[in-house]
Structure 1
Amino acid sequence: MLSSLPYKLTMELITAWREDMEFRHMEYFTALAEELHFTRAAERVGITQPSLSQQIRLLEDEFGTSLFDRIGKKTALTEAGAILLQHCYHIMHELQQARVAIRSLQGLQRGSMDIGALSTLATAKLPSVLMAFHREFPSIKVTVRNLLSEEIYDAVLQNLIDVGLCYLQPEHAQRDQLECIPLYTERLVLITPLQHPLANVDAPPLSAIASFPCLLPAEPFLRRVILKACESSETRISPALEIDSLEGILAMVREGLGLAIVPSSLLQESHYSRVTAIPLEQDGFQLEVGMVYRKHKFLCAASRVFLERFVTAYRD
């Protein structure tokens, strides 16, 4: 992004940022850049909408360029604004790192930790690890958020969570900014209603699966894995429905609305007496499960201990 603007303008933006911008300006700008709505952004930072508009105009005057495009009622970041937003994230990250590093001097006596986890993975070993951790360190506040894999990656990169438990994505655009700890490989399985023609077929060919209505997860990464594995075998699946939750897919398969390919962990933690699970032996139907956190992030003592305990629990 930096290289797409003239060098002189880019350096003027960075210089003005370092010399003249106060922390409150950074908060105002970041709020508007994320909300893209003046009223919501003003409420978020606790000032009036006219005050926010005035502060943004002062920033644009200081930088000598527009940071936002106002098109009717819509607000969008300009290219210069996108550059400034990345510097905002960097500086806010460094400030947060300083706070964490200072608090870590108090060891494990106090602190907090935010974890993002896929719902199907969070119900496996995470509760037992959390219970043991809380018994040992009762003063550490732990928050667990149920997120999709791509949401976990975004939340880690934006420092909204400390660590994430998700499906690892080696082709992620910002993979070089993350530390990934592989835990285990999870197979995908085909689930069918009990009375379905494929229910008693061992290792059904993908062509047979594709001849029936299929339900696909709406989660982008999981859907891509399934479609890519099918295409590698020269099979194309036409989804009858795309459903937000894996639990919703399981319920619809029970009712006979179609077949589905899902992670095996879904069946380990759910009641599935009314479906048949069939392992898929073809290449590509597997997912790497692991922990992710931001590279070069200062992990507090609590996060380091939790990460160690969690990895040990999954690998034992």
Structure 2
Amino acid sequence: METSALQAFIAVAESGSFSLAGEQLHLTQPAISKRIATLETQLNARLFDRIGRQISLTEAGNTLLPKAYGILAELEDARRQLNNLKGDVGGSLSLSTSHHIGLHRLPPILRQFSRQHPEVALDIHFVDSEVAYEEVIHGQIELGIITLAPQQRARELIYSQKVWSDPLCFVVSSEHPLAHSKALTLQELSQYSAIFPGQNTFTHHIVKGLFNAHHLELTVSMTTNYLETIKMMVSIGLAWSVLPRSMLDDELSEIKLIGANLERDLGYIHHTERTLSNAARAFIDILHSNREGL
């Protein structure tokens, strides 16, 4: 069984498309189909149901998927161990980060790393923090630089380390009815609609937890996981939201709330049972040197 066939299988399973999998792996669709057909022949099992243009995993495919992730992750782990023996900081470093961290926190880190280790090829993915957790679990990326989960589940085999505190503030536009309020309670704020990241995001869970603690409903009129988009929609008066204090500017007015202090932890994650490459260790060293008073 060739690893290229497993890579093709995972790409089709994740994208739900032979053509998209081909684009991802820089192969033609017939080449992807051939690899899947070879794999199905070797395993004597159909891995995908093909109904019209819809592609879905069969029971056999669902059984194979976590195994395929594991096999490729073990091979990558072996490669890192062998490369680490050389003592060099080189090769490639795959990392995922959120758009917000990529824009507001990572540039000086990346600049320093690239200057110190120009021989390392950075493979950077911009994804939601929650997606980065899954990518680390499956061995798809080595490091995640993300918003850390409010509650870590031990079974996830994830090591997380806080690097930055990210204070959050409640914001509206200068034209919003709440813009000139001296102080509000959560009860008063709950009467107005909000714009928030999706329910599965860590930031949503943090704010929802605050409202739940006070037995209040959070009324969300719109959702998007892009904080810059939320800022724009708030700035034109559509609703209130919670944004990192670093994003506060003349377009937004901060709402002072009684007894409401929120912040997120930003940092890095990696798999506890995978070998870190020398490049990843060097990147982590730079992250530690930039920690904010921790």
**Into which bin does the TM-score normalised by the smaller protein fall?**
0.7 to 0.9
Does 2:73 correspond to 1:93? yes
The letter for the 1-side match of 2:170 is L
1:129 and 2:105 aligned: no
For residues 168 and 59 of structure 1, do their structure 2 counterparts lie closer, same or farther at Cα, with a shift above 3 Å needed?
same
1:275 is aligned to 2:252: yes
Shift of residue 154, structure 1, vs aligned partner? 2.1
- Comparing 300-309 with 110-119, greater Cα deviation is found at 110-119
Distance 1:57 1:176 in 2: 30
Matched, 1:119 2:102: no
1:293 aligned partner:
270
Give the match's secondary structure for 1:165.
strand
TM-score (norm 2): 0.84
Equivalent position to 2:208, from 227, 244, 247: 227
Q: Hey, what does 1:9 align to over in structure 2? A: none
1:58 to 20, 23, 41: 41
Match of 1:210 in 2: 190
CA offset at residue 69 of structure 1?
3.2
Cα shift readout 1:107-163 (whole Å, capped 9, x = no counterpart):
345222222222322344422222222222222222433321112212222333221
- Residue aligning to 2:129: 149
Corresponding residue for residue 253 of structure 1? 234
Contact 1:108 1:301 (8 Å CA) reproduced: yes
**1:33 to 2:13 alignment:** yes
Q: Post-superposition shift, 1:80?
A: 2.8
Which range is displaced more, 193-202 or 156-165?
Answer: 193-202
Relative to structure 1, the CA distance from residue 52 to residue 168 in structure 2 (aligned partners, 3 Å threshold; closer, same or farther) is same
Q: Distance in 2 between matches of 1:305 and 1:25?
A: 32
Amino acid at match of 1:94: E
1: CA distance between counterparts of 2:20 and 2:127?
24
Q: In structure 1, the residue corresponding to 2:291 is in which secondary structure?
A: helix
Distance (Å, rounded) in 2 between the aligned partners of 1:301 and 1:57: 37
Are 2:115 and 1:138 equivalent residues in the alignment?
Answer: no
Distance 1:278 1:233, change over 3 A: same
User: Is the deviation greater in 48-57 or in 301-310?
Assistant: 48-57
SS in 2 for 1:262: strand
Decide whether aligned partners of structure 1 residues 69 and 86 sit closer, same or farther in structure 2, where only a CA change above 3 A counts. same
Pair 220,227 (structure 1): closer, same or farther in 2 beyond 3 Å: same
| Aligned residues of 2:186 and 2:257 also touching (Cα < 8 A) | no
**Are the counterparts in 2 of residues 229 and 284 from structure 1 also a CA contact under 8 Å?**
no
Secondary structure at the aligned position of 1:75 is classed as strand
TM-score normalised over the length of structure 1: 0.79
1:173 CA displacement: 6.2
Structure 2 gap ranges (5+): none
Give 5+ residue unaligned stretches, structure 1: 1-20
Superposed CA deviations along residues 223-249 of structure 1, whole A, max 9, x for unmatched, are 232223212212212222223421112
| 1: CA distance, partners of 2:101 / 2:18 | 38
Query: How far, CA to CA, are the matches of 1:75 and 1:122 in structure 2?
Result: 33
After TM superposition, give the deviation of residue 92 of structure 1 in Å.
0.6
Pair 1:31–1:248, CA change in 2 (3 A): closer
2:94 touches 2:143 (CA, 8 Å); kept in 1?
yes
| SS of residue paired to 1:315 | coil
1:74 and 1:174 map into 2 onto residues whose CA distance is: 36
**Residues of 2 paired with 1:120 and 1:281: CA distance?**
27
Rounded Cα–Cα distance in structure 1 between residues aligned with 2:125 and 2:6: 27
Larger helix fraction of residues: 1
d(CA) in 1 for partners of 2:256 and 2:124?
31
Paired residue for 1:180? 160
CA contact (8 A) 2:185 2:257 kept: no
Task: Give the count of matched residue pairs.
Answer: 289
Does structure 1 conserve the Cα–Cα contact (< 8 Å) formed by 2:93 and 2:279?
Answer: yes
